[in-house]
Structure 1
Amino acid sequence: MDTKTALLDSAETIARQRGFDGFSYADLATAVGIRKASIHHHFPTKAILGQAMMERYRLVFEDTLSELAKSKHLADGQLRGYIDIYRDALQGGKTICLCVALSSDRNSLDDATLREISHFHDASLKWLETLFETAQTDGSIKNLSESKLEAASCLALIEGAQLMAHASQDVTTFDNAVALLLSRLTN
């Protein structure tokens, strides 16, 4: 693995555990086993590192959503898959999604990183809106409202559930928060 990838991997891991403000280049240097000056060669500022982390995370997430949409599952199965992405990201309550972690440190982020977070949310909302439109056709999710509102509510619920589970370091908190949404699935 090249140094730049190792830095991005380590920075993402630490940020998902402690937030963007919760680590320094000294922490990264220790984690990767290089000098701090070497980090500056790849990422001259922490703002540039934050943008690179978020962009990479967003692209992987969008690919995952695309694959989930291509699955042979009805909308309810795809929604289960979506929820599982966030549940798995908790790693037992020790970490959270990078987007959620960086969003909580919003005041420390530069405009480019904030745009990446916005793109992440926009992609997620668009995917969810399409999912809820599909559910209206296939009947696999009960008691649906307007797709756009369902999407916004779902994203807020999932990301909020992640924050609660991370705060308590208990994934059961996440499970309890999404239980009502899951009860609406027909399969």
Structure 2
Amino acid sequence: MKSFAGLTPSAERIVDATEGLIQTLGYNGFSYEDVAKIVGIRKPSIHHHFPSKMELGAVVAQRYTHRFRQSLLHIEGTLSKAPARLLAYAGLFESTYETDRRLCICGMLGAEADALPDEINQEVKRFFSINLDWLTMVFAAGLDAGTLRSTAAAAELAEAYLCMLEGALMVSRGLPQAHGPKRSASVFLASVLV
């Protein structure tokens, strides 16, 4: 299977278009014809780069996970306290939503897990595992430092926070008056701040 790291410029445009389609329509909601129209190429050109939709979907999820992981490293490198890191983390979801009310790639794919190839589900699981591990570390550091307080364990807080942010994306899309993930995160964090 291809890796996102070795993509040609043409393949990158295909992955970019597919990412947007998955974020708005889901994996089962688009075809190579849709991608071809966005990129301005013929379907055989897509098959040249990605012989199967499964391979294309897996590369999209892989690249998204990598970029998200890079964002987590940036947050770690620029913010030292858990509350600020957690708010910055919510900002990643907010910026996704602010781009045409898009959803998290892996959240959208996770909703379709029962109808996806194993290769894509493995990438989705990797995304959530990376995020839960990172959030657990941040919540644990905040609890240890006394900047956060809760009777729940760090891993439980991490899971609740991630679920709340993924859910906030979906609810915000469904309710035009909703305020997006960052506001939901602020309410959540207010309940655990010291």
- TM-score, length-normalised on structure 2? 0.88
User: Any unmatched runs of 5+ in structure 2?
Assistant: 1-7
**Pair 64,173 (structure 1): closer, same or farther in 2 beyond 3 Å:** closer
Matches within 5 A, 1:3-152: 3-91=10-98, 94-143=101-150, 145-152=152-159
**Deviation larger for 100-109 or 147-156:** 100-109
Contact 1:93 1:170 in 2 (8 A): no
Pairing 1:154–2:161 present: yes
Q: Which runs of 4+ in 1 moved over 6 A?
A: none
**Pair 45,125 (structure 1): closer, same or farther in 2 beyond 3 Å:** same
- Residue by residue over 1:144-167, the C-alpha shift from the partner in whole angstroms, topping out at 9 and shown as x without a partner, is 521111111111111111111122
- TM-score, length-normalised on structure 1? 0.91
**Deviation larger for 31-40 or 92-101:** 92-101
Aligned-partner Cα distance in 2 for 1:179–1:155: 13
Paired-residue identity, %: 26
Aligned-partner Cα distance in 2 for 1:72–1:94: 27
User: Any unmatched runs of 5+ in structure 1?
Assistant: none
Secondary structure at the counterpart of residue 148 of structure 2: coil
Aligned-partner Cα distance in 1 for 2:164–2:124: 17
Contact 1:15 1:23 in 2 (8 A): yes
CA RMSD of aligned residues (A): 1.9
